Each structure stands twice: as structure tokens, then as C-alpha cells.
Amino acid sequence: MTDQSKSMASRIEQEHADLREVIKEIEKEIQKDPSKEEFTSWKLDFMRRFRDFQNELTKHFDLEEEGGFMEDLVARAPHHARQVDELEHEHEDIAVGLGAIADALKGMNEHTMSGLPAVRQRIREVLEVLHRHEEAERDLIQKAYFQDIGVGD
């Protein structure tokens, strides 16, 4: 593994760790049950955090896709090309899911906040997909960069 590849793999792993911390914050915040009087303030605060999360995740996906990391991984381990392609498609699915959640939240007010449990469930589902996605990426990094590729003695 080149120094540049090691650096990129380390950067991606650090971003994964940072994203896990933000996800914990979102999961904690979405559990709050605001009153009708608190809803608008809660929603604005949550939307701000949620949009920041979306932006950070988009930058992370760009790093993986456009930063040369995925290309390097496929060049190093071409037999993982299909899995890399699937992960890249998941990026779009996750982004679309997060966008739909943001739209649903944006359309809510203190009179329609009865829809909040459904939004919570959608958030949990997308975050679970993201969690499995990040695990698959970590496994792929381990396989492609750190496991013995069977070089003969």
C-alpha cells in the first residue's frame, strides 16, 4: 500500500468515526418528544443539525467517489469492482432517503407533528442502511489493503 493510499484509507476511517458520532447525536435528538409549543423551535434546531449531517455525508461520499479512493481500491483489487459499484449506488440511495426525510420534516408544523413517529422510523431505517454501508466499506478496505492477498512463498 502506498503512503497516499494509507493516508486516504486513514482519512476515510476517521470520517467514518466522525459520522458515527454525529449519527449518535441525531438518534438522541430525534427521540425528543417536543410539545406543540416547543415543536417549531425543536424542528428548526433539528433541521439545522440534520442538514449539516447531510452536507458532511455528501462531502464524505465525494471523497470516496471523486477523491480517487474507489478507483485505487478497484485497481488494487479488481475482483471487488462489483461491490464498489454497489456501494457507490448506495450513496445515492442514502442521499435520496435523507432528502425525503428533510422534506417531510420541513413540511411539518405543530398541527401535523403527529407524523413525527413515522419520520423517526424513516430516520432509523436510513441510518441503519448507512451503518451497514459503512461496515461494508470498512470490510472492503480491510480486504483490499490489509489482508494477505495470497502471495506464494
Three-state secondary structure call for residue 128: helix
Model's pTM, two decimal places?
Answer: 0.84
> What's the pLDDT at 66?
83
Chain mean pLDDT for the chain? 88
> What's the pLDDT at 13?
85
d(CA 90, CA 49): 22
Indicate whether 105 pLDDT > 90.
yes
Three-state secondary structure call for residue 2: coil
Domain ranges of the chain: 3-146
d(CA 46, CA 54): 12
Of residues 141 and 23, the one with the higher pLDDT is 23
Indicate whether 151 pLDDT > 60.
no
DSSP state, residue 34: -
d(CA 73, CA 18): 22
- Calculate mean pLDDT across residues 106-112: 94
> What's the pLDDT at 47?
95
d(CA 4, CA 115): 47
- Calculate mean pLDDT across residues 42-48: 96
Indicate whether 152 pLDDT > 60.
no
d(CA 23, CA 82): 28
> What's the pLDDT at 51?
95
Place of cell 506464494: 152
d(CA 58, CA 64): 10
Residues 6+ apart with CB under 8 A from 9: 1, 69, 141, 145
> What's the pLDDT at 147?
67
Contact of 127 with 27, CB cutoff 8 Å: yes
- Calculate mean pLDDT across residues 69-98: 90
